[in-house]
Amino acid sequence: MNFHTTIATAFGYVGFVYQKNPFKIIKTILPYPDLQNLLTSIGKSKREPPNRYTNADKVAKLIQNYFHGMPITPPWELMKMEQLTELQKSVLHETANIPYGYQKSYKEIAAMIGRPKAFRFVGTTLSKNPFPILVPCHRVIKNNGSYGKFGGGIEMKKKLIEFETARKAIK
């Protein structure tokens, strides 16, 4: 049985699905404007009441912090990554290293993982990123500076980049 937590943010409702034993985040879900659509996206899982499970509360707090304009570090030890290849994991790790409020291109990420011609692989990997927000794939853009594709849609990607850029300028 999988469980889920939902969080209200200024961007809409965000959620994540996890297993309890051992605790592992299975996926995070980008903002939806209404809770019912988020719950439909989550699928079959049981809602866990707040403050019932320490690791779930820790992840919820990280996501809340992100939407309050704070940089976060992915809780790698709590993320279910066994389904990913080592190369896919390296893409996620390099993506997570992009500083808050900055962007890198698919091509730059490819070079950083030692595969300079694998920018399409980087794009494909990020299009299947099971942990958006925790692994900020919205920070990866095309080499020409355009946004590229995004699971939450181009408008959401643009809003997240603008949100981070504005917060970075304040700090």
Could you give the residue numbers annotated as active site?
137
Q: In this structure, which amino acid lies at residue 64?
A: Q
What is the rounded (10 degree) CA torsion for 167, 102, 59, 39? 90
d(CA 30, CA 153): 10
Two structure tokens written together for 124: 């494909």
Phi and psi at 45, nearest 5°, equal -165, 165
Phi and psi at 141, nearest 5°, equal -125, 175
Count the Cβ atoms, other than its own, within 10 Å of residue 169.
Answer: 8
The gap from C-alpha 59 to its chain's centroid, in whole angstroms, comes to 12
Residue the block writes with tokens 């994540």 = 16
Query: Which residues lie across from 55 on neighbouring strands?
Result: none
